[in-house]
Structure 1
Amino acid sequence: MRKILFLCFLSFSLNVIGQDYAAVFEKATQDYANGNYEAAISKYEQILDGEQESVALYYNLGNAHYKLDHIAPSIFYYEKALQLSPQNEDVQNNLAFAQQMTIDAIEEAAPMGFNKLKSNTIGKLSSETWAKIAVVGVFIFVVFFIWYYFSVGTATKRLLFSVAVIGVILFISSFSFAFIQQQDALQERYGIIFSEEASVKAEPNPKASEAFLLHEGTKIKLLDGFNGFYKLEIGDGRQGWLKQEFVKAL
């Protein structure tokens, strides 16, 4: 796991977290640098208790827990960091290291039908990237339309108008894709197993038969809730019911 003291995040974090917690964040980061991981976690959680958040805060919490071999909390906070910055390579890399400590090896089921088409097209890029492409589309339209407006030659005007139209199409499609990605992210709920071993039931009943077992650190999709249970789905498509006390929702 790469050694990063996360001081590069410091100036950004102070702005996002707020001046009231700036000193606490600095002390926590210093504790981390000195190897006092428990102390660092305590201070970072103090900031969370104040309903503050940032990529750096979740990132540092994940790393502090990772140093202490806390599987579920490290994965949980890396995932929280990715919710704020999905393309952050440092978070992605460290999450991959943390996931190597988990027991469950679940093969992801291949998407089918429309979901497969969406995964192979819209899903190739994040909502942030699609939004940036939409901005490029607007820029192309504005520049080439102004150029078209002031040009004289018929052939030139036709060409410039065609490029401006392409810019509009690029904007509309990219904006739509960004919206779809964002809606999917809002509608889908996930959680991390915090119990060392969790029995997934066939029904939302403690006496129901066991469907399968899951272990600490596994990420699950939350479909529903009833009677103190979450209805869940894992990557290979299996579903079941798990006591809510075993899960921390992202």
Structure 2
Amino acid sequence: MKKMVFLLCLFSLNFGFAQNETLFDEATELYNNGEYSKAIENYKQILENGQHSASLYFNLGNSYYKQNAIGPSIYYYEKALLLSPNNEEIKNNLRFAENMRLDAIEEMPKTELSKLYSAVIGMFTFDQWAYLAVALVFLFVMAYMAYYFLGTANQKRAAFISGIFALVLGVLSILMAYLNFQSFKNNDPAIVFSKEVNVNAEPNNNSAPVFTLHEGTKVNVLEELDNWKRIRIADGQTGWLEAENVRKIKDF
């Protein structure tokens, strides 16, 4: 009976993958034929089936970009970039989409040390840093074993140095994974989907507007209260807007 259940689960899994692959291929063909709305329907069906990937979000971003839908295109490019942070093609298309925005917000200046820190921990996602750490620890164990089994002094010396080097890099990778995860957890980005929205000083409609944002602008959600979100924009300004005006990027 257990074997039957396992086979049924395996069949369902394979069927799901095959279905998603068919939907993806159909969507790509629709996109190439200029049928962007139908391509989007297929891509979203894959998401509803529980599968997501950088390429899927990237293609969704491209489809919306072709329709001049600023908010959704930037939103899906940003999601793709979360899963593949070093992908230059995603970054390039995101820059094109961002050029369509009305808001030109200057970021708060960063020190060179802060830029270097962000660049280093952002080389990989926190799970990629963790996988690298596991691989390096495995190399350390192999070098440790080789130290005892190799015969000559030069071979032992090489194994010892290689093991220490792998261990140090492994520890650094664990540290990078932790720092990247903390940064990921403390950062809650979202994209404005409304054509235009007022950001208020307080979480109510009677509060005075502080500034106005337009579709496609990226914000960071600081806190939530009922159907309101307190956000911060790149230049450091903060305020409240109704939750329906933005969509969080990390809502996988």
Q: Is the 8 A contact 2:83 2:125 kept in 1?
A: no
Please name the residue that 1:248 is paired with. Answer: 247
For the pair 1:186 / 2:185, whether they are aligned, the reply is yes
**How many angstroms apart in 2 are the aligned matches of 1:192 and 1:120?**
23
1:119, distance to aligned residue in structure 2 (A): 3.0
- Residue of structure 1 in register with 2:47 after alignment: 48
Q: Deviations over 1:65-91 (max 9, x none)?
A: 101111001011111212222222221
Cα distance in structure 2, aligned partners of 1:165 and 1:21:
45
Structure 2, gaps ≥5 residues long: 1-13
Report what 2:166 is aligned to.
167
Q: CA deviation at 1:24?
A: 2.5
Unaligned runs of 5+ in 1: 1-14
Cα distance between partner residues in 1 of 2:57 and 2:241: 26
Match of 2:175 in 1: 176
Residues 91 and 170 of structure 1: CA distance in aligned 2, closer, same or farther (over 3 Å): same
1:144 offset after TM fit, Å? 3.5
Counterpart residue number, 2:22? 23
The 8 Å contact of residues 85 and 122 in structure 2, kept in 1 or not, is answered as: no
- Aligned residues of 1:111 and 1:119 also touching (Cα < 8 A): no
Partner of 2:7: none
> Which amino acid in 1 is paired with 2:244?
E
Residues in 2 aligned to 1:143 and 1:65: alpha-carbon distance in whole angstroms: 49
| Residue 176 of structure 1, CA deviation | 1.8
Could you tell me how far apart the structure 1 residues matched to 2:39 and 2:185 are? Answer: 31
In the superposition, the TM-score normalised over structure 2's length comes to 0.80
Residue 94 of structure 2 is aligned to residue 105 of structure 1: no
| Aligned partner letter, 1:70 | A
Check whether the contact 2:81–2:90 (CA below 8 A) recurs between aligned residues: yes
Kindly report the root-mean-square deviation, in angstroms, between the aligned alpha carbons of the 2 structures. Answer: 3.0
SS for the counterpart of 1:63 is helix
Q: Which moved more, 1:199-208 or 1:76-85?
A: 76-85
Structure 2 residue matching 1:198: 3-state secondary structure = strand
Task: Give, as a single letter, the amino acid of the residue that structure 1 aligns with 2:67.
Answer: L
User: What is the TM-score of this pair, normalised by structure 1?
Assistant: 0.81
**Partner residue, 1:12:** none
Offset at 1:128? Answer: 5.6
| Structure 1 counterpart of 2:80 | 81
Match for 1:234: what amino acid? I
Partner of 1:93: 92
Amino acid at match of 2:79: K
* 8 Å contact from structure 1 (residues 110, 116) kept in 2: no
Aligned length: 237
Given that 2:81 and 2:87 are in contact with CA atoms closer than 8 Å, whether structure 1 keeps it comes out as yes
Aligned-pair identity in percent equals: 42
Distance in 2, Cα, partners of 1:152 & 1:22: 52
1:50 and 1:154, CA in 2 relative to 1: closer, same or farther beyond 3 A? Answer: closer
Moved more, 50-59 or 198-207: 50-59
Given the superposition, is the C-alpha separation of residues 85 and 124 from structure 1 closer, same or farther in structure 2, using an over 3 Å criterion?
A: closer
